[in-house]
Amino acid sequence: MRNLIIFGPPGSGKGTQSIHIANKYNLAHISTGDIFRSEIKNETELGLKVKGLIEKGELVPDELLIDILKSAMNKFKNVDGFIFDGFPRTIPQARDLDEVMDEMNDYINIVLALDVNDDEVIARLLKRAELEGRKDDNEEVIINRLNIYKEQTEPLLEYYANRDKLKMIHGIGSIEDIFKSLCEAIDKAE
Ligand code: AMP
């Protein structure tokens, strides 16, 4: 199995690149953000619970994530591994993921961190707001999401660097060029 984490601030291109990587390497793409958006759209109990938080750009509490993650992973059959996109976002979530991997007698091969500066991320998210109309893509919420990323999610860079899993990837350029850099890193990590 090949298990990857794609990491980076909101708007760094994680979603787009994950889809390409999942296709190329036959991986299950697990995007917790996509899961929450679908639950909100279908007005499920979970969706109603998390809607307010997500629209403000806050994180969903850690204890809700683990079951969602496990049930998302169980839906896939005949894949060669997983690509986690938007998860983990906190140190407790990273520990939970390590446990899930342990239970499967498996491990995370590499954490691919897309390096994109704040100005670029803000510009991209404002553009996405126009194109897709995501409720959490207005300027105030974008700033909040970036602050939360810095406070709660960025410490994971050190967590994975300490475990020799971290690979920084320059995240500005064409989708194709960035995809190429990501694939090189994945192939090397075998
Ligand atoms: P994303 O599409 O990954 O940017 O996620 C959209 C929103 O969903 C985030 O701003 C959070 O409110 C919520 N979310 C997604 N994944 C997580 C996670 N792993 N932990 C907490 N909240 C999450």
Compute the distance between CA of residue 33 and CA of residue 69 in angstroms, rounded to an integer.
11
Q: Is the CB of 87 under 6 A from ligand 1?
A: yes
Q: Phi and psi dihedrals of 113, rounded to 5?
A: -105, 115
- pTM, two decimal places: 0.96
pLDDT tens digits for 118-155?
999 999 999 988 888 777 888 889 999 999 999 999 99
Query: For a pocket test of ligand 1, which of 6, 16, 36 has the largest count of ligand atoms closer than 8 A to its C-beta?
Result: 36
Q: 162, exposed or middle or buried, with CB in 10 Å at 0-12, 13-18, 19+? A: exposed
pLDDT tens digits for 51-62?
999 999 999 999
**What angle do the packed helices 91-103 and 62-74 form, to 10 degrees?**
30
Q: Is the CB of 60 under 6 A from ligand 1?
A: yes
